[in-house]
């Protein structure tokens, strides 16, 4: 099973900051270390910058001569048309994007993206051969009400049912992000994260008919270089989706170093 370190830069980093990020990684020592890590074909390092920087970041990743992937934080439900401000999966594929993040809690809460919209986004992204990182997770109230698993089950069933099983394993990565831990400095304990990841594998089997051993499930929510090792030791955690800690190149490299052996 592959492990993934995916940096979600959100609405951060200008051109100068991006150049500084890659200047650090392009020094002889850091470049050699990154090459050592990614020489293992079962370890992946991905970055999702703002739309307008995808081409630039893709070129800078290529300059490192390592297999780093670049993708988008979102995409439209429509292939083309009069949808001002939207970005299509087709356009993302054209500029060399490898993946798209769908269903992040910030999109669900701030932009009111519902199950149907997310299902349409997934289908369109897959049709243009973009891999999908699909985010799921409960709020603090839902967890305190003991509804965390049922909430995640509904999110998965409503947006993922009907996807070809053979496509699921190779093209979709799940990212469990407890909403109460995103950008708060709080994070689920390794045991709490493992418990939910195991439950998600059960949902894959019982609700979606997917072989749980073929699915990659990432953890997200205030992941940092100080807590990633304990998270990655858990049986059912295959990597992390990281926000703030992925913005600093030295931290991003440390996250990559913590991948499972």
Euclidean distance between CA atoms 117 and 213, whole angstroms: 28
Catalytic residue among 98, 104, 113, 142: 104
Catalytic residue among 44, 138, 142, 177: 177
Would the pTM of this model clear 0.95, i.e. be above it? Answer: yes
User: How high is the mean pLDDT in each 10-residue block of the chain (261 residues)?
Assistant: 96 98 97 96 97 98 96 98 97 98 96 97 98 97 95 98 90 96 81 97 96 96 94 97 97 93 52
Tens-digit pLDDT profile for residues 198-211: 999 999 999 999 99
By the 8 A CB rule, do 171 and 98 touch? no
3-state secondary structure of 75: coil
How many angstroms separate the Cα of 251 from the Cα of each of 115, 158, 256?
Answer: 34, 35, 9
Long-range (24+ apart) CB contacts under 8 A made by 36-43 are 37/256, 37/257, 37/259, 38/66, 38/67, 38/68, 38/256, 41/2, 42/1, 42/2, 42/3, 43/2, 43/3, 43/256, 43/259
Active site residue 86: no
Tokens coding 116? 């149907």
Domains and CATH numbers, the chain: 3-257 (3.20.20.70)
Tens-digit pLDDT profile for residues 81-106: 999 999 999 999 999 999 999 999 99
Active site residue 213: no
By the 8 A CB rule, do 216 and 2 touch? yes
Tens-digit pLDDT profile for residues 24-34: 999 999 999 99
- Nearest-CA neighbor of 13 among 61, 64, 57, 74? 57
């Amino acid at each position: 099973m592959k492990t993934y370190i995916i940096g979600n830069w959100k609405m951060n980093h200008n051109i100068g900051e991006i150049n500084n990020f890659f200047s650090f990684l392009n020094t002889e020592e850091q470049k050699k270390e990154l090459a050592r890590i990614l020489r293992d074909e079962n370890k992946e390092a991905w970055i999702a910058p703002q739309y307008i920087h995808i081409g630039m970041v893709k070129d800078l990743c290529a300059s490192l001569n390592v297999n780093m992937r670049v993708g988008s934080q979102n995409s439209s439900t429509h292939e083309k048309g009069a949808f001002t401000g939207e970005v299509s999966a087709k356009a993302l594929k054209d500029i060399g994007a490898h993946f798209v993040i769908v269903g992040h809690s910030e999109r669900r809460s701030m932009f009111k993206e519902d199950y149907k919209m997310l299902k349409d986004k997934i289908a369109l992204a897959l049709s243009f051969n973009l891999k999908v990182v699909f985010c799921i997770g409960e709020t603090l109230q839902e967890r305190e009400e003991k509804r965390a698993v049922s909430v995640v089950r509904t999110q998965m069933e409503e947006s993922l049912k009907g996807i070809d099983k053979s496509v699921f394993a190779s093209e979709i990565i799940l990212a469990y992000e407890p909403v109460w831990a995103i950008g708060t400095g709080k994070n689920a304990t390794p045991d709490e994260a493992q418990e939910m990841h195991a439950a998600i594998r059960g949902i894959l089997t019982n609700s979606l008919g997917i072989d749980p051993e073929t699915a990659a499930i990432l953890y997200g929510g205030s992941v940092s270089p100080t807590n990633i090792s304990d998270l990655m030791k858990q049986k059912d955690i295959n990597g992390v989706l990281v926000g703030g800690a992925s913005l600093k190149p030295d931290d991003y490299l440390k996250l990559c170093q913590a991948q499972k052996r």
